[in-house]
Amino acid sequence: MTNNPTGSQFLNREVGQIEFNRRVLAQAATKDVPLLERLKFLCIVSSNLDEFFEVRVAGVKEQINLDTPGFGPDGMLPHQVFKRVSEQAHALVTLQYQLLNQEVLPGLAKEGIHFLRRSAWSDTQREWIRAFFFRELMPVLTPIGLDIAHPFPRVLNKSLNFAVELEGKDAFGRSSGTAIVQAPRVLPRLILLPREISDSEYNFVFLSSILHAHVGELFSGMNVLGCYQFRATRNSELFVDEEEVKNLRIALQGELPQRHLGNAVRLEVADNCPKHMSDFLLEQLGLSHDDFYQVEGPVNLVRLMQVPDLIDRPDLKYPSFIPGLPQTLQKKKAVDIFQMIRNNDILLHHPYQSFQPVIHFIQQAAVDPDVVAIKQTVYRTGTDSLIMTALIAAAGAGKEVTVVVELLARFDEEANINWASRLEEVGAHVVYGVVGHKTHAKMAMVVRREEGKLRRYIHVGTGNYHASTARLYTDFGLFSCNEEVCADVNEVFMQLTGLGKAGKLKHLWQSPFSLHSQMLATINNEAQNAIAGKPARIIAKMNALLEPEIIKALYAASGAGVKIDLIIRGVCALRPGIKGLSENIRVRSVIGRFLEHSRIFYFRSGGAHAIYLSSADWMDRNFFRRIEICFPVLEEKLKKRVLSEGLSIYLKDNRQAWEMDGDGHYHIKTARRAKRLCAQETLLTQLAAAK
């Protein structure tokens, strides 16, 4: 076996994602975090791990099955990656359930919030639960007895199932001894008991507990020896040959149902499942013991995410807040958004500042008689979107509405297909981007007739047009009517909807054409300034850093003497602080109440202090397989805001910031004697409106 000569310079992506989830899990272990929020962080880890197995682990297993030759950039072979990930994921899940059982659930119980085991049910509760089973559960359950005519069912991805051991013969004389019961997804996984039969306000019962108690009712005349909940995670990547299909939307609609039936990649069972049953399930799913996770509690913690919404206890949650508005939009009477944009560019910093102006921008355009056209990209927008409703209204009113809908936005495909259909029904122009390149750019353009000529207005941002996530994710959005920037945005729209060569853009950097080369050139320019003895500086904030050429350029800039600070929420393949390689590079990750989602790039640029915002992380896919934009902040006042609110304050955070070492491990950055500074809390105080 030969060693990969570049392996020592890069860290592994999959291992990095486990490290990221370790940092998220640390929030659930933090006593300062309110109890119900700690429960949410446990659920977020489960949700993250679900996608991790569905996509990343599934991909590694595919590489192993195909015997893919060669090393990755990190110098690891696929089977080595899988072994490392399996070991670390098992350790992470063990810690997750320890926190649940030893800290979070006992803490909630002290607050009168209980998740009752069967042994704790009172006679009155047991009677109510039995009636609930026959009324709500029994009619929709379909037990499948395993025999020659009923082979092991292809259980749906991430569905809750029960393996039931039986003794005796049924009405037809069959005695296979095993049956599978799948809990339909329409059934709630948690049931809140009525107050009149509870000794506290919040007593919950798991659906699994109810089914365990009454599973014998499904197998009349037979003896139930055991009932064990389990959950299979499957490969969820969609395979659509974009070069072959004639209609991507129709092809995708046909492919979506298959997502739930991909190859299994993980088996989760409860702690009461005996070895012979877990071995049977592994065999049926085609999995090995490395894919097996036995947990002390519910096999799907994601379903506990609903609990905080069911409980009226503000003292156990983060304090509520009202997003603020920039001063220019703080008007008591109705705001003419176009007039405000003509006065000055407007910067919004979500979630501290409201997403409502973005919605208002499209809504006002939809009803404004002077607006002649609206163009917008849609990556993720949700199933209930005021923006999409406004676009539909605008098209219905006869305006030229063009929407670039990315049908292959992972796990949002169905919602986007539905929006595309509704837009087409009212006469909007709907296009699905460019074959082989996901449209990930976040941009909207309104064309308005003013004083006999057309004027363009744009909104560009780092995050999706999704009102719900705008309350949870940190992102920047920019309104402008700068003619040159608007012309660049229009050029990108023309590329997406028409045909022709890519035109040269004056201000925007765009994937897959110029973003990678421009970013490399700008990093190299800082290195050249440092070599020439000029001040040089790079600060970059993003979700992930993986692209090898960018990492090499950063190493070279570090060697030239450029001080580099990277604020990377998730995976980072760069190794900071390595003598002779990256001693001038510091990497930190901030994990807190809000998901850090903005992409910000600062270059000293010979004193020009260039600041760019982008939809793109520094990853191969963003540079080469997606349509992305990176746009400058041109107004000096707004540049100072981005530098202060988006970068500088995160470099001073000593409460939620983790410092990364050269081996990819993270250590919480707390200064005991220093004044407490939490970036997210400070920005809430500075930018959010009064409660």
Q: With respect to residue 68, please indicate whether it lies within any of the assigned structural domains.
A: yes
User: Do 163 and 289 belong together in one domain?
Assistant: yes
Identify the band that residue 237 occupies on the pLDDT scale cut at 50, 70 and 90.
low
Q: With respect to residue 333, please indicate whether it lies within any of the assigned structural domains.
A: no
pLDDT digits 0-9 by tens, 651-683: 999 999 999 999 999 998 776 667 889 999 999
Of 33 and 238, which is predicted with more confidence? 33
Q: With respect to residue 335, please indicate whether it lies within any of the assigned structural domains.
A: no
Query: Which contacts qualify for 41-44: CB closer than 8 Å, 24 or more apart?
Result: 42/96, 42/99, 42/100, 42/104, 42/301, 42/304, 43/301, 43/302, 43/304, 43/305, 44/305
For residue 24, the SS3 value is helix
pLDDT digits 0-9 by tens, 77-110: 999 999 999 999 999 999 999 999 999 999 999 9
pLDDT digits 0-9 by tens, 531-544: 999 999 999 999 99
User: Do 60 and 173 belong together in one domain?
Assistant: no
Query: Is the pLDDT reported for residue 5 higher than 80?
Result: no
Which of 68-72, 446-450, 522-526 comes out lowest in average pLDDT? 68-72
Q: With respect to residue 280, please indicate whether it lies within any of the assigned structural domains.
A: yes
Query: Is the pLDDT reported for residue 257 higher than 60?
Result: no
Of 227, 270, 346, 276, which is closest to residue 638 (Cα–Cα)? 346
pLDDT of residue 7: 54
User: Do 148 and 288 belong together in one domain?
Assistant: yes
What CA–CA distance (Å, rounded) separates 354 from 349?
8
Of 458, 377, 445, 475, which is closest to residue 634 (Cα–Cα)? 458
What CA–CA distance (Å, rounded) separates 191 from 129?
9
Q: With respect to residue 317, please indicate whether it lies within any of the assigned structural domains.
A: no
Average pLDDT score over the chain: 90
pLDDT digits 0-9 by tens, 148-203: 656 888 888 999 999 999 887 765 555 668 999 999 888 889 999 999 999 889 99
User: Do 276 and 178 belong together in one domain?
Assistant: yes
User: Do 350 and 497 belong together in one domain?
Assistant: yes
The answer to whether 457 is a known ligand-binding residue is no
SS3 letters across 487-524: HHHHHHHHHHHCCCCCCCCCCCEEECCCHHHHHHHHHH
Most confident of 210-219, 464-473, 564-573: 564-573
pLDDT digits 0-9 by tens, 483-506: 999 999 999 999 988 776 777 899
CATH number where 279 lies: 3.30.1840.10
Query: Is the pLDDT reported for residue 255 higher than 50?
Result: no
Q: With respect to residue 319, please indicate whether it lies within any of the assigned structural domains.
A: no
pLDDT digits 0-9 by tens, 334-372: 679 999 999 999 999 999 999 999 999 999 999 999 999
User: Do 191 and 286 belong together in one domain?
Assistant: yes
What CA–CA distance (Å, rounded) separates 373 from 395?
9
Tell which of 473, 502, 531 closes a domain.
502
What CA–CA distance (Å, rounded) separates 187 from 682?
41
Beta-strand pair 223-234/161-167: antiparallel
Show the domain range for 589: 510-687
User: Do 657 and 556 belong together in one domain?
Assistant: yes
Query: Is the pLDDT reported for residue 465 higher than 80?
Result: yes
CATH number where 32 lies: 1.20.58.310
Identify the band that residue 49 occupies on the pLDDT scale cut at 50, 70 and 90.
very high
Kindly state the average pLDDT of the residues 224-238.
88
Tell which of 96, 111, 126 closes a domain.
111
Q: With respect to residue 130, please indicate whether it lies within any of the assigned structural domains.
A: no
The answer to whether 117 is a known ligand-binding residue is no
Q: With respect to residue 322, please indicate whether it lies within any of the assigned structural domains.
A: no
Query: Is the pLDDT reported for residue 333 higher than 70?
Result: no
Kindly state the average pLDDT of the residues 546-564.
98
Identify the band that residue 274 occupies on the pLDDT scale cut at 50, 70 and 90.
very high
212 counts as catalytic:
no
Task: Kindly state the tokens that stand for 21.
Answer: 């989830």
Please say whether the beta carbons of 274 and 226 come within 8 A. Answer: yes
For residue 269, which amino acid is it? Answer: V
Residue among 440, 459, 466, 516 flagged as catalytic: 440
What CA–CA distance (Å, rounded) separates 481 from 484?
9
User: What percent of the chain clears pLDDT 70, i.e. is strictly above it?
Assistant: 91
User: Do 636 and 515 belong together in one domain?
Assistant: yes
pLDDT digits 0-9 by tens, 556-576: 999 999 999 999 999 999 999
Q: Per the structure, how many domains does the chain have?
A: 4
Identify the band that residue 277 occupies on the pLDDT scale cut at 50, 70 and 90.
very high
CA dist list (Å): 614 to 74, 133, 437, 483, 509:
26, 51, 17, 19, 9
Identify the band that residue 240 occupies on the pLDDT scale cut at 50, 70 and 90.
very low
pLDDT of residue 285: 95
pLDDT digits 0-9 by tens, 404-416: 888 765 556 677 7
User: Do 61 and 151 belong together in one domain?
Assistant: no
User: Do 191 and 269 belong together in one domain?
Assistant: yes
Tell which of 71, 95, 111 closes a domain.
111
For the residues of 374-419, what is the DSSP string, one character each?
A: EEEEES---SS-HHHHHHHHHHHTT-EEEEEE-TTSTT-HHHHHHH
What CA–CA distance (Å, rounded) separates 163 from 144?
10
Kindly state the average pLDDT of the residues 590-602.
97
User: Do 3 and 143 belong together in one domain?
Assistant: no
CATH number where 399 lies: 3.30.870.10
pLDDT of residue 244: 44
pLDDT of residue 430: 85
The answer to whether 380 is a known ligand-binding residue is yes
User: Do 216 and 280 belong together in one domain?
Assistant: yes
Of 664, 669, 667, 618, which is closest to residue 14 (Cα–Cα)? 664
CA dist list (Å): 21 to 90, 220, 303, 660:
12, 45, 18, 14
The answer to whether 410 is a known ligand-binding residue is yes
Query: Is the pLDDT reported for residue 145 higher than 70?
Result: yes
